[in-house]
């Protein structure tokens, strides 16, 4: 839509994240998608300003993100302490949110049939979004979400005279750990209900193909990423001579942990030298060097299958 100065006007924007969904999508782009980058919240906000400006007939610098809120379940301190580096990862991501002026809202994960699951997050997100919209009278509320449970919220926001924009994704991939096909789909009802639906999977793939600056900056730059789960790829220094040997403790989409005192070692698929990440199994014996990343955390590097030539135990 063409924009002229005579028709330009200020637009108040609120951005609201379904945190688990955002994390799932960011993990997909970092570990599965060929681009191999995490979503950058600052870049996402800049993208939002341009998309809102285009649809509202104004300029990006007149689209002001008044509030940004992130909703997610979280482990208790005791539970997180039992998981390798979980407390550290939680703190790093809190820092990311804080530096991008995003307010976090967490509820404790509930134990359901032996598995930790979110309970009440969608309700909390809906209530906070609606209340803030009533108080601050946003012109546009942007949702990073996929669940059809958000449809009643969208209808209530429209009743307040607020327009809605949805950043949603549809994609599928084969899980490296289980070999199963994984599907992510945004609710059709939610797509149809919002004022401005953005099918981000298509927008991003097309933008990357055309080297669109707005889409390129949607992601964390490789050279600025620390080499760990949250950010990705900072330089490391090998600090111990000789090889170590231990077993795989856990595997996720593109990363995992190796048993090692005192706090286990994180590694990425890129750190494997003689095998595919998808061929690894929990309990496999590996040999590796120990390094320290830019944040002072010990990590595993130069990882190979254990051989009889290097019996050094971890």
Mean pLDDT of 303-309: 77
- Cα–Cα distance measured from residue 231 to residue 195, given in angstroms and rounded to the nearest whole number: 33
Residues 6 or more apart from 312 whose CB is under 8 A from it?
242, 243, 244, 245, 287
In the numeric block, which tokens belong to residue 31?
């570990």
Mean pLDDT of 276-305: 84
Residue 150 has pLDDT above 90, yes or no: yes
Mean pLDDT of 88-102: 86
Residue 253 has pLDDT above 80, yes or no: no
- Cα–Cα distance measured from residue 19 to residue 70, given in angstroms and rounded to the nearest whole number: 6
Q: Is residue 300 classed as helix, strand or coil in its secondary structure? A: strand
Q: Does residue 149 or residue 90 have the better pLDDT?
A: 149
Question: Could you write out the DSSP letters of every residue in 73-114?
Answer: EE--HHHHHTSTTHHHHHHHHHHHHHHTT-EEEEEEPEEETT
- What is the 3-class SS of 209-276, one letter each residue? HCCCHHHHCCECCHHHCCCCCCCCCCCCEECCCCCEEEEEEEECCCEEEECCCCCCEEEEHHHECCCC
pLDDT per position as a tens digit, 216-252: 999 987 543 443 444 444 445 556 667 899 999 888 7
Average pLDDT, the chain: 85
pTM assigned to the model: 0.71
| Domains of the chain by start residue, with CATH | 5-222 (3.40.50.1010), 237-305 (2.40.50.140)
Say what the pLDDT of residue 11 is: 97
Tell me if 140 sits within 8 A of 117, measured CB to CB. no
Q: Does residue 21 or residue 229 have the better pLDDT?
A: 21
Mean pLDDT of 80-91: 75
Mean pLDDT of 18-38: 90
Say what the pLDDT of residue 193 is: 98
Contacts within 8 Å (CB) and 24+ apart, 108-117: 108/73, 108/74, 108/75, 108/76, 109/73, 109/74, 109/75, 109/76, 109/79, 110/73, 116/73, 116/75, 116/79, 117/73
Q: DSSP assignment, residue 38?
A: P
């Amino acid at each position: 839509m063409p924009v002229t100065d005579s028709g330009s006007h200020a637009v108040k924007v609120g951005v609201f994240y379904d945190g688990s969904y955002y994390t799932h999508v960011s993990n997909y782009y970092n570990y599965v998608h060929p681009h191999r980058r995490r979503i950058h919240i600052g870049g996402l906000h800049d993208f939002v300003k341009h998309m809102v400006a285009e649809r509202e007939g104004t300029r990006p610098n007149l689209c002001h993100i008044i509030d940004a809120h992130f909703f997610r379940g979280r482990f208790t301190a005791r539970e997180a302490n039992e998981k390798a580096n979980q407390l550290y990862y939680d703190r790093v991501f809190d820092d990311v949110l804080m530096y991008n002026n995003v307010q976090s809202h967490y509820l404790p994960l509930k134990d359901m049939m032996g598995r930790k699951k979110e309970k009440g997050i969608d309700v909390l997100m809906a209530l906070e979004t609606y209340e803030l919209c009533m108080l601050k009278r946003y012109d546009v509320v942007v949702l990073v979400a996929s669940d059809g449970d958000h449809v009643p919220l969208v209808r209530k926001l429209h009743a307040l005279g607020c327009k809605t924009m949805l950043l949603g994704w549809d994609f599928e991939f084969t899980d490296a750990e289980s070999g199963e096909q994984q599907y992510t789909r945004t609710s059709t009802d939610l797509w149809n209900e919002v004022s401005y639906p953005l099918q981000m999977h298509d927008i991003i793939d097309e933008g990357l193909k055309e080297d669109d600056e707005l889409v390129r900056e949607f992601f964390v730059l490789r050279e600025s990423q620390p080499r760990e789960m949250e950010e990705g790829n900072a330089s490391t220094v090998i600090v111990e001579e000789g090889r170590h040997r231990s077993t795989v403790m856990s595997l996720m989409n593109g990363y995992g942990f190796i048993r090692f005192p005192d706090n286990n070692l994180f590694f990425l698929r890129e750190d494997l030298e003689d095998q595919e990440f998808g061929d690894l199994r929990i309990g496999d014996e590996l040999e590796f060097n120990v390094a320290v990343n830019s944040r002072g955390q010990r990590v595993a590097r130069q990882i190979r299958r254990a051989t009889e030539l290097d019996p050094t135990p971890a």
